[in-house]
Each structure stands twice: as structure tokens, then as C-alpha cells.
Amino acid sequence: MKNTSVLRAVALSSVIGLLLGGCGADGSSDDGVTTIKVAYQKFGSYTQLDDHLKQVKPDFEAAHENTVVELVPIEAVENDYATKLALMNQSAATAPDVMYEDTFRVQPDADAGYLAPLDEYTAKWPEWDMFYENAKNAGLGKGGKTFAIPMGTDTRALWYNKDLFAQAGLPVPWAPKNWDEVLSAAETIKAKLPEAIPMNVYSGKAMGEGASMQGFEMLLYGTKDTLYDTESQKWVAGSQGFVDSLKFIKDLYQGGLGPTPEQGLDKNVATVVATDWLPQNKLAIDLDGSWVSGTWIESGAAPWPEWNDVLGQAPMPTQDGQAPGATSMSGGWTLAMGEKSPNKDAAWDFIAFALNKDNSQAYDIAASQIAVRSDVSEDPDYQAANPTFGFFSEIVEFTHFRPATSDYGRISNEIQIAMEAVMTGQQEPQEAAAAYDKALVGIVGEDAITKTQ
């Protein structure tokens, strides 16, 4: 059998080599022009970042003589994007000067030597004071150093189709108080509207971190348990909340309340949800992010003028309605500087330009991001741009963040494996949870684990 990982690596290296043709090792050419490479993810219906950077590029080049921006879009789902970015960072010849980084990967990538600290630049950047302190924390690595600048943040909640709810006799507006009320609504949709998919929760390895974070952790952090004990700085094993969260996934996928497992394991399912299932009234409830409406606005990939009339939003309730009554997860993406960049000053100039007030606001509006700059958040044009900004900003008070540790990426993968085993009926929730606990020991060791039972 051929080693597909090696083949992918060879193919990507060949592409990168072609992209870098004509440039010196220091990113400069014979005529004194400095080239900075900006690597970022481009996938599915979420084209807002690609559009944003294509606008920033000519504006930046016009303001910075003899500097050329080479955009390097990587068309891949999240896990594949991270793999390809890591491969690029193995060599100074292929490493980008600027890269798009998920907040949970900042610390491990900094530890791996891929990212350069930015403190000497932020100390001289007046606009740094406009960023909220908790947003600044998203870009921190070991020693409290800043390795990335946030572009925006997000929260997650339940999107529901008001027309389908009305047809099924369900209340609008909808405000479920616990998991039972969520599943009950899905069961009503199944009984009254059999052609509709009652509910979508992302699950399985194909969705990568989308399954772990906006699927599983949106459930787990609504139980009485957690993934990681921040006080003891230990990972949690033997958690009833972990088992209960997997049972929710089982009820959904094995109980006919969600997509079929085959549909759920399609790596393009998020695009299908945003461009087909929701706009075409095929899906009643979607556990998803604040950014989804960016697809439907006039400048989005699939404009849908009626989206705000058809869809409502409700906070995801806690398991039994226990305080604080609702839960959410927050993350977001950043721009970071490559440690191997030979043109760090130019790379910083690009980051600062791309994330100045005007450019940050343009991106946050287009991508339906929760603003991380106070001057953007308070701007009347930003506030008026999307009718859901207020709702998704309000649930920040209930939100949680993924553990910012170097182990998290591997642990997230084990969560996806457990979810997939349950959604496909290969394991019962207790079995999948036990397999996760065993894998957890292999990743972090017994001394880094606390048991709840």
C-alpha cells in the first residue's frame, strides 16, 4: 500500500517549490523587492478571509514600496490545513512569513518553533491598546509572550428554522431550558416533518476541531464536568459528563434525530449545512457558530436575503438547566509571524496593516465575527451590519475556551474518534469514553490526569 502521507508531502513540497520560484532565500529578488508569503486556509463556502486578504494585498503594496505580498491559500479542511502548514514550517525555504492560526494551535506551534514572538512590535504599536485583554490572551504562548494577533472571536448557539417550528407546532421564539427540551423538539420535528433533518451537531474525524469544539465540548461544558481542570492543571478522566455527551450524540445519530452518519462524516458537511440544508428548509436545528450568517449576507458566498426572517437563535442550555443555564464555546483565528521569516519587519507591517481598525472592521463584518477591538465593537456601522451580533455577543458571559496546552491537539483527535465510534454504532458511549480515557493516559501520563469517579 502506498504511503499517502508521504505522497501528500511530496506533492505539497512540489507546489510550494513552484510558488517560491524566482525568490531568493531571504524573500528578496535581484531588483531589491521584498516578498512576504502569507499562508491561510481557504475552504468551502467560507471565502471571507480569501476576499479580505485579496483586498488588503494591493492596499498594503501601495503603501509599502518595494514590498510584494504573495498570497498562499491552502484549500483544505481544518486538520489538513494544520498538517500542511506544519510541513511548510519545516524548512526556511518554504515557511511563510505570515500565517493564519487557530487560537488553540498558537501555543503548540510556538513551542514547535514555528512562530516568532511579537512583543517588541506590539510594544510600539499604539493600536494594541484597542484590543480587549481577554482577546490578547488568545495569542499568548509560554512565558506570557505574544505570538499571534486575534482577528475576531466567536460564540456558538442553536440556530433554528422558525417556519419549520411553526409547521410542527413548536414555540417561536424557542428557548429550551435543558437537553431534554432540545431533543424533544427534534423528536417533534421527526414526527411532524419527516422530510426534514431534525438537528445537526458536528461529529467525527472528518469535521476535525469543528466536531470537538462546537459539537462535543458544547455538550460537555454544559454538564457538571470539564475536559481540563485548570486549578490542578490536569486532564479529566472517568467523567460522567463525557459519557452523557456521547449519549447525546448517540441519540441524535442512532435515533434518527440527525443527519445519517454518512452525511455527518462528509468533510464538506458544514458547507452543505450553510448553503443547502438551512436555506432550503431541510434542517430544523443547527448547533453552530456565530459566523455562519457570513455566508448569507450580500457579500457572502451564498447570499440569502431572508435568512434573518427564517432563522432564530437560542443559547445552548446546560444539561439539566443548572446555573448559569446556558453554555457556549469561543475560539477564533489569528495572524502570526513565522519564526523562520527573513523579513520579520515587513511581516509585522503586514499584520498590523491587515488588522488595523478599518481592515479589522471590514473582516469582522464580512465574516460575522465578534469584534476583539473596542473601537470596532463600538462602531455604529459594525453594530448595524448584522442583526445577530448582539445575541452572540451577549452569550460571551457563558462561554468557555479550549485548553491552551500542547497536548490539546492530540486529545481533540481522540474526542473525534470517540464521537465517530458512537455516531456510527461501533461503540456504546461507556465503551468510547473508556477508550478515550485509555488514550488520554498514553498522551499525557497518569500523573497529568485527575479522575472524577
| Structural domain contains residue 15 | no
pLDDT digits (tens, 9 = 90+) for 107-166: 999 999 999 999 999 999 999 999 998 889 889 988 899 999 999 999 999 999 999 999
Same domain, 162 and 113: no
Same domain, 147 and 164: no
pLDDT score at 209: 92
pLDDT score at 360: 97
Cα–Cα distance, 207 to 338 (Å, whole number): 27
Beta pairing, strands 311-314 & 156-161: antiparallel
Indicate the number of domains in the chain.
Answer: 2
What one-character DSSP code corresponds to residue 27?
A: S
Same domain, 320 and 358: no
Same domain, 148 and 168: no
Same domain, 30 and 80: yes
Cα–Cα distance, 445 to 450 (Å, whole number): 11
Contact 228, 235 (CB under 8 A): yes
| Structural domain contains residue 9 | no
Same domain, 267 and 347: no
Same domain, 300 and 417: yes
**Domain around 169:** 156-330+405-451
| The three three-digit cell numbers of residue 147, written as one number | 505570538
Q: Which residues pair with 67 in a beta bridge?
A: 34
| Structural domain contains residue 16 | no
| Structural domain contains residue 172 | yes
pLDDT digits (tens, 9 = 90+) for 399-422: 999 988 889 999 999 999 999 999
CATH of the domain at 147: 3.40.190.10
pLDDT score at 2: 37
pLDDT digits (tens, 9 = 90+) for 311-356: 999 999 999 999 999 999 998 899 999 999 999 999 999 999 999 9
| Structural domain contains residue 117 | yes
pLDDT classification of 7: cutoffs 50, 70, 90: very low
| Structural domain contains residue 7 | no
pLDDT score at 79: 83
Same domain, 128 and 224: no
Instruction: Show the DSSP H helices in 76-150 as ranges.
Output: 78-88, 103-111, 119-122, 133-137
| Structural domain contains residue 368 | yes
Same domain, 287 and 430: yes
Q: What is the largest CA-CA distance in the chain?
A: 71
Mean pLDDT of the chain: 92
Please say which residue of 381, 401, 421 terminates a domain.
401
Number of C-beta neighbours around residue 303 at 10 A? 12
| Structural domain contains residue 261 | yes
Q: How many Å separate Cα 139 from the centre of its chain? A: 15
Beta pairing, strands 148-152 & 399-401: unpaired
Same domain, 304 and 438: yes
Average of per-residue pLDDT across 385-403:
92
| The three three-digit cell numbers of residue 193, written as one number | 416533518
Q: For residue 3, is pLDDT > 50?
A: no
pLDDT classification of 26: cutoffs 50, 70, 90: low
Same domain, 287 and 412: yes
| The three three-digit cell numbers of residue 46, written as one number | 467560507
Please say which residue of 361, 380, 401 terminates a domain.
401
Average of per-residue pLDDT across 286-305:
93
pLDDT classification of 453: cutoffs 50, 70, 90: low
Cα–Cα distance, 206 to 307 (Å, whole number): 27
Same domain, 59 and 110: yes
Q: Strands, E, within 338-403: which ranges?
A: 399-401
Sheet of 333-337: strand order equals 67-74, 34-41, 98-102, 333-337, 148-152
pLDDT score at 405: 86
Contact 294, 152 (CB under 8 A): no
Q: Enter the pTM of the model.
A: 0.84
Cα–Cα distance, 335 to 332 (Å, whole number): 11
Q: For residue 190, is pLDDT > 70?
A: yes
Please say which residue of 380, 401, 422 terminates a domain.
401
Find, among 257, 217, 226, the residue nearest to 450 by Cα.
Answer: 226
pLDDT classification of 78: cutoffs 50, 70, 90: confident
| The three three-digit cell numbers of residue 355, written as one number | 488588522
Number of C-beta neighbours around residue 141 at 10 A? 20
pLDDT classification of 265: cutoffs 50, 70, 90: very high
Q: For residue 11, is pLDDT > 60?
A: no
